[in-house]
Amino acid sequence: MSVLVFVEVADGEVKGSSLEAVGYGAEVAKQQGTTATAIVLGTSIAADKLAALGKYGAAKVLHVADEKLNNGVIQAYVQVLAQAFEQTGAKILIVAKSSLSDAVTARLSVRLKASLASNVTDLPSTNGGFTVKKSVFTGKAFQTISLANENKIIALKKSAFSPVDSGSPAPVETFSASLSDADFGVKITKTDKITGELLLTEADLVVSGGRGLKGPENWGVILDLAKALNAATGCSKPVSDLDWRPHHEHVGQTGVKVAPNLYVAVGISGAIQHLAGVSSSKCIVVINKDPEAPFFKAADYGIVGDAFEILPKLTAAAQKLK
Amino acid sequence: MKILVCITHVPDTTSKINFVEGNSKLDTTNMQFIIGPYDDYALARGVELRDALGGTLTVLNVGTAETEPTLRKALAIGADDAIRIDAEPTDAFFVSEQIAEVAKKHNYDLILMGRESSDYNGGQVHGMVGEMLGIPSLSPVMKLDIEGSTAKMAREIEGGKEYLEANLPLVLGVQEPIAEWKIPNMKGIMTARKKPLEVIQPANPTQYTQPQQYELPAAKGACKMIAPEEAEKLIELLKTEAKVL
C-alpha cells in the first residue's frame, strides 16, 4: 500500500502546484506508515526533472512515456491512473486541483469507488476515521468531511501546502499502461497556449487590472510591475468581456480562482464576483482612485490615487529589490 | 436532439455565509437562491442549441421542494420540461448517481451542466455522470457547436484553449463565454407555470463522503493605507511586514 501522487507538467516543467501535491502526499504517506509514489504522464519532461521529485518527498517516480499523453486527454488519463492505482496497491491518490485533475478525479472516483475531496486545505485528520478540511462557498467557508471508503482521492487547493526541497533524487521507473483507441475518442484538433509566461493559476504573485485602466493600450504599467515582481497578470470580468485581455486572465467567480501569496488589484472596484476569485490570497493590495471602492474592505494594503502615477513608482522600487 | 441540463440551486453570489445548529448547517434565513452561475450558462447554450437544431430540453435538479422556483425559472428561460429528484444533494457521488439513473432511461444526446456549483465548488458531477454512463465527459467547455452527431468544442486549459471534437453523446461541464445568460420574459414566465415538472424519488442513496462541520475563515484585519506620494513604501512593507516578496 502506498500513496500515489499525480504530477502535472507544463512547459516541460513540473507544475508548482504538483510539487505541493508531492510534498503533501509524502506527509500523508508518513501518517499512513508508507511512502509516496509520483506518476508523470507524457514525454515533454526531462529525466532529471522526474528524479528531482524525490527531493520533494516522492520515494519513487513512475513515468508513462507515451507521447500521446502529452496533451491532457481526460479519458486516457483516467485509464492510466486507474491502472497505476491498482497495480501499485495504492489506497490514496493525491492531485493538485486543476481543470484537468477535476475532470480526471471525478471519473476515477466512480471507477475506483473512492471517496473524493476537492479543494482540500489541510493534512487529513486520522483520529478515529479519516477527515479532511476543504474550502467551500467559493472561499467564504471551510467544511470538514469524512472520507469513509477504503480508496480515497484528495485534490489539494493551490498554496495549501508548502513543499520543502530537502531529500534526494528518487528512482524513476517506466510504467506501461494499456490504452485503446476508445480512450482517445475525444480528438484534440488544436491547442492555443501561451508559452514562456507564468501561468495565472500557478503564480505566487499576481498583478490584475480592471476597467479603471481605461483601455488595453494602457496595460503597459501592469505588465511592467508584473515583470519587476515576477508575477502573472490577471484582469477583471469587464476587461475580459471587452476583449482588452484574453479570457484565461479573467479572475473571479466565473473565471479563474487564484490563491497567490500576493494579489495586487489595480483599478478594480471589488465586486463580490471578483472577490470570490481572490479571497484565498494571503495578502491583497488594492490601488484605486475611488476611496469608497469596496475592494479596500477586503485588502491588507491600500493606496488611493492614480494608477498611472503609482505603478511606475512601485515598479522602480520592486526592481531595486533584485 | 435530446438535451438534459442539470442545474444547482445555490445561494446568490452576494449572500453572507453563516452556519447554524453547531456549525453543521447553512443558515438560509433571508437567503436568496439562484440557478448556479455556471449552470445558467449551460442552460442558455442548451436553449440556443434546441432552438437551432430542434428537439427537447429537459432541466433537472436534485433537491427538496424548495428548489422548485429555481426549476420554474429555468422553464421560463426556455426548458421544455423539468425533473426534480426529491432529495437533499448530500455529495457529488449521490447527485451523479441520481442524474445517471434518469439519463439511462432517456438516452440524451447531450448532458450539460456548469463546470462546478458555486456552493461546494467540487466540479465533479459531470465527470462522475460520464463515467457512470460510460460516455466521455469534458470540462470546462467554453464553446460548443453541434454538427450532425459531432460536437466541436473549446475547453479552457491553463494559459489558453484546447479545441476538441467528439461524437455524441457527451457530458459537458461548461463556463463562460459559451453563451450569454438569458433573462426570462413575461411570456416565458406565464408558460413556465404550465410546463410539466416531474418529481421522482431518489434511487440507490449511496454517499462517498460524509459532511461533518463548517467553519468560517478568520476575520480580515483592517486595511493599511499608504499615501500615494509614498507608494514605494508598499514594496518595503510587502517584503518586511507581510513577507510575501
The complex's ipTM works out to 0.90
Confidence (pLDDT) at B13: 83
CATH architecture of the region A3-184: 3-Layer(aba) Sandwich (3.40)
Confidence (pLDDT) at A280: 86
* DSSP labels, A101-132: HHHHHHHHHHHTTEEEEEEE-SPPB-TTS-EE
Q: Which helix (H) or strand (E) holds A218?
A: none
Share of chain A above pLDDT 90, in %: 81
Helix/strand/coil percentages in chain B, nearest 5: 30, 30, 40
Confidence (pLDDT) at B15: 86
Q: Which helix (H) or strand (E) holds A155?
A: strand A151-156
- Residues A14-32: what's their mean pLDDT? 96
Which one has a higher pLDDT value, A282 or A199? A282
Q: Which residues of B touch A116 (CB under 8 A)?
A: 92-93, 122, 124, 208-209
What confidence category does residue B119 fall into, taking pLDDT thresholds of 50, 70 and 90?
confident
Q: Among B13, B17, B237, select the one facing A273 at the smallest CB separation.
A: B13
Contact criterion met (CB < 8 Å) for A272 and B13: yes
Identify whether the C-beta of residue A28 lies closer than 8 Å to the C-beta of residue A44: no
Q: Among B132, B175, B231, select the one facing A314 at the smallest CB separation.
A: B231
Q: Which residues of A touch B237 (CB under 8 A)?
A: 301
Task: Kindly tell me if the per-residue pLDDT of A159 is higher than 90.
Answer: no
Q: Among residues A231, A226, A271, which one has the least CA distance to residue A253?
A: A271
Q: How far is CA B241 from CA B227, B234, B244, in A?
A: 17, 10, 8
Confidence (pLDDT) at B56: 98
Summary mean pLDDT of chain B: 94
Confidence (pLDDT) at B176: 87
Residues of each domain in chain A carrying CATH 3.40.50.620: 3-184
Question: Could you report the per-residue pLDDT of A36-77, keeping only the tens digit for each?
Answer: 999 999 999 999 999 999 999 999 999 999 999 998 899 999
For B36, name the nearest residue in chain A, comparing CA atoms only. A254
Identify whether the C-beta of residue B128 lies closer than 8 Å to the C-beta of residue A107: yes
Confidence (pLDDT) at A122: 94
Nearest Cα of chain B lies from the Cα of A120 at a distance, in angstroms, of 10
Cell numbers given for A93: 491518490
Confidence (pLDDT) at B160: 84
Q: Which residues of B touch A183 (CB under 8 A)?
A: none
**Hey, which of A159-173, A197-211, B139-153 has the most confident mean pLDDT?**
B139-153
Q: Which residues of B touch A276 (CB under 8 A)?
A: 13, 118
Task: Kindly tell me if the per-residue pLDDT of A127 is higher than 90.
Answer: no
Which of A13, A78, A109, A273 is most worth mutating to test chain B (most B CB atoms within 10 A of its CB)?
A109
Q: How far is CA A159 from CA A118, A180, A238, B50, B186, in A?
A: 14, 36, 27, 42, 47
Amino acid identity at A26: A
Q: Are strands B33-35 and B25-26 parallel, antiparallel or unpaired?
A: unpaired
Q: Which residues of B touch A282 (CB under 8 A)?
A: 242, 244
Confidence (pLDDT) at A139: 82
Q: Which residues of A touch B130 (CB under 8 A)?
A: 106-107
Q: Which residues of B touch A206 (CB under 8 A)?
A: none
Task: Kindly tell me if the per-residue pLDDT of A310 is higher than 90.
Answer: yes
Residues in Cβ contact with A11 at an 8 Å cutoff, skipping those fewer than 6 apart: A195, A196
Q: How far is CA A213 from CA A23, A180, A217, A284, A317, in A?
A: 40, 51, 9, 19, 21
Identify whether the C-beta of residue B24 lies closer than 8 Å to the C-beta of residue B132: no
In total, the C-beta contacts within 8 angstroms joining chain A to chain B are 271
Nearest Cα of chain B lies from the Cα of A191 at a distance, in angstroms, of 4
For A297, name the nearest residue in chain B, comparing CA atoms only. B223
Instruction: Please tell us whether the domain made up of A205-321 is placed in CATH 3.40.50.1220.
Output: yes
Confidence (pLDDT) at B14: 83
Q: Among B127, B159, B245, select the one facing A194 at the smallest CB separation.
A: B159
Q: How far is CA B48 from CA A177, B3, B31, B171, in A?
A: 41, 11, 31, 17
Summary mean pLDDT of chain A: 93
Contact criterion met (CB < 8 Å) for A303 and B19: no
Confidence (pLDDT) at A97: 94
Sorted by where each starts, the structural domains of chain B and their CATH numbers stand as: 2-220 (3.40.50.620)
Q: Among residues B49, B170, B63, which one has the least CA distance to residue B107?
A: B170
Contact criterion met (CB < 8 Å) for B131 and A262: no
Question: Could you report the per-residue pLDDT of B183-217, keeping only the tens digit for each?
Answer: 999 999 999 999 999 999 998 789 999 999 999 98
Amino acid identity at B121: N
- Residues A236-247: what's their mean pLDDT? 93
Name the phi and psi angles at A136, rounded to 5.
-135, 175
Question: Could you report the per-residue pLDDT of B42-72, keeping only the tens digit for each?
Answer: 999 999 999 999 999 999 999 999 999 999 9
For B151, name the nearest residue in chain A, comparing CA atoms only. A186
Nearest Cα of chain B lies from the Cα of A57 at a distance, in angstroms, of 25
- Residues B111-121: what's their mean pLDDT? 90
What confidence category does residue B220 fall into, taking pLDDT thresholds of 50, 70 and 90?
confident
- Residues B92-110: what's their mean pLDDT? 96
- Residues A310-315: what's their mean pLDDT? 96
Confidence (pLDDT) at B1: 94
What confidence category does residue B36 fall into, taking pLDDT thresholds of 50, 70 and 90?
very high
Question: Could you report the per-residue pLDDT of A271-289, keeping only the tens digit for each?
Answer: 988 998 998 899 999 999 9
Q: Which helix (H) or strand (E) holds B227?
A: none
Question: Could you report the per-residue pLDDT of B131-184, keeping only the tens digit for each?
Answer: 999 999 999 999 999 999 999 999 988 878 899 999 999 999 999 889 989 999
